[in-house]
Amino acid sequence: MHKKKVLIIYTGGTIGMCRTENGYAPIDGYLSDAIADIADLKRPEAPLFDLYEMSPLLDSSDITVREWNKIGEVIYNSYDAYDGFVVLHGTDTMAYTASALSFMLEGLSKPVVLTGSQIPLSEIRSDGRDNLVTSLLVAAEGVAREVCLYFSGKLLRGNRSVKMSADRLVAFDSPNYPHLADVGISIIYNRSALASPDDKPFRLQRLSEIPIGVLKVFPGIQFSLFETIMTEKLSGIVLETFGAGNIPSYGGELIPMISKAFKGGAVVAVCSQCPSGTVTLGAYETSSQLKRAGAVSAFDMTTEAAVTKLSYLFSLDISKEKIKALMEESLRGELTK
Ligand code: ASP
């Protein structure tokens, strides 16, 4: 029987970090030695794998569009040679990278599983071993044929995932979407939640560096302070609003700013600060003005998905009206209307 083969792409992050005098940092070559010590990966049930180490290795706080394009290119160039892909990544921005890749990898029909760890493999009690071994199995199995994120017993849709905890081992969840699989003694897939890949040919859409701003409103926010940020220089603005899409209406300051950015060509997407639930523009007076000003609803999308989706849509050669329309449609299962 053909033995499944997975490509591990190592970008950096805690999983491969070692202690240095300035705190944890990724060390070139360390991860391949650490992986060679994982006995489970030598078992006959384990898939074959190759390791691709990116350079430089990064703390994921330093990940940019450049690295997203690089990861996308590695997957694209080796797509036919492997049954699936595991991307080892820092946890801090893993949900952003997972979201970005979900949009960039058009027509994907193989698993791409992002994982990492809260405790490095170089330390006792590392959660990296299970995260890596299970991710490899998921990538080889080919049941979840989409961009997903595996962490501490949960397989999540990548563009629905959020980092929930800075210190718990169960660090991720997808509050607005069921788990793709729950992993205990067995890997139990939730088949009705899995994406059904379409027949489109596999293609990589590289991202351009799109000027995007995120503004989180809070009680008493002085909008005038943000006037210099909310300009026509921005292509996309993600507003993190209260509850179902509400903003403070005092002073009528935000709407003129949004209208200005909107006239300058920006697309304004409205997310909620609540981890779960959806935006319903117009449900309250304090949100209907956003709709009138031309903002679009991000429904139950995460901020990570909204930011990367804007980045993806602006990288395509399509009109602003089309971008607005697509922001409100599900492209990769990132939102529920
Ligand atoms: N700062 C680290 C990173 O995101 C945290 C981690 O990997 O858990 O690269």
Each residue's pLDDT expressed in tens, for the chain with a length of 337 residues: 689 999 999 999 999 999 999 999 999 999 999 999 999 999 999 999 999 999 999 999 999 999 999 999 999 999 999 999 999 999 999 999 999 999 999 999 999 999 999 999 999 999 999 999 999 999 999 999 999 999 999 999 999 999 999 999 999 999 999 999 999 999 999 999 999 987 899 999 999 999 999 999 999 988 888 888 887 789 999 999 999 999 988 767 888 888 888 888 899 999 999 999 999 998 988 888 898 888 999 999 999 999 999 999 999 989 999 999 999 999 999 999 9
Task: Record the tokens describing residue 53, joined without a space.
Answer: 């180490």
For 244-280, write each residue's pLDDT tens digit: 999 988 767 888 888 888 888 899 999 999 999 999 9
**Does the beta carbon of 330 sit less than 6 angstroms from any atom of ligand 1?**
no
Give yes or no: 14 in active site.
yes
Angle of helix 303-315 relative to helix 94-104, nearest 10 degrees, comes to 40
Give the residue extent of every domain in the chain. Answer: 5-204, 212-327
Question: Which among 117, 101, 81 has a CA at the least distance from the CA of 4?
Answer: 81
CATH class of this structure's domain 5-204: alpha beta
Q: What is the pLDDT of residue 251?
A: 61
From 11, 14, 302, 303, the catalytic residue: 14
Examine domains 5-204 and 212-327 and report if their fold is the same: yes
Cα angle for residues 18, 131, 189 (degrees, 5° grid): 165
Closest ligand 1 atom, CA of 94? 4
CATH 3.90.650.10 fits 212-327, yes or no: no
- In DSSP terms, 187 is beta-bridged to 183
113 near 161, Cβ under 8 Å? no
* 239 CA to centre of ligand 1 in angstroms: 26
Q: For tokens 């027949």, what's the residue?
A: 199
* 60 CA to centre of ligand 1 in angstroms: 6
**Does the beta carbon of 169 sit less than 6 angstroms from any atom of ligand 1?**
no
Task: Record the tokens describing residue 168, joined without a space.
Answer: 């718990």
Q: Which mutation among 19, 24, 60 tests ligand 1's pocket best, with the greatest number of atoms within 8 A of CB? A: 60
Cα angle for residues 160, 118, 190 (degrees, 5° grid): 35
Q: Determine the distance from the C-alpha atom of residue 56 to the mean position of all C-alpha atoms in its chain, rounded to a whole number.
A: 21
